[in-house]
Amino acid sequence: MTTYFDETETMSLEERATDYNGRLSQMVQVGYEKSIRVRETLDTLGLAPSDIATCEDLQKLPIITREALVERELKEPPFG
């Protein structure tokens, strides 16, 4: 008897990529709408949320270091 925890365990590679990309698109859109930092980052790069639609599109985004995050939060505290 074969038991699976959920359907994602038996997805094909293509189905899994489609699922990941759909979730990524949703996360980027929500981040853009709700986070000033995400919005500023995308706007500075001239990107719209729809420009980040696949895992490969993540290469368009800068790598953010811990030091850069700390510096930014010291200049603009996230909670006022």
- Domain parsing of the chain, residue ranges: 12-75
Question: Is 56 exposed, middle or buried, given 0-12, 13-18 or 19+ CB atoms closer than 10 A?
Answer: exposed
3-state DSSP assignment of residue 12: coil
- DSSP code, position 64: -
| pLDDT, tens digit, 9 for 90 and up, residues 34-54 | 998 899 999 999 999 999 999
Mean pLDDT, to the nearest integer, of 65-73? 91
pTM of the full predicted structure?
0.77
- At residue 2 the predicted structure's pLDDT band, cuts being 50, 70 and 90, is low
Say how far apart CA 46 and CA 29 lie, in whole Å: 15
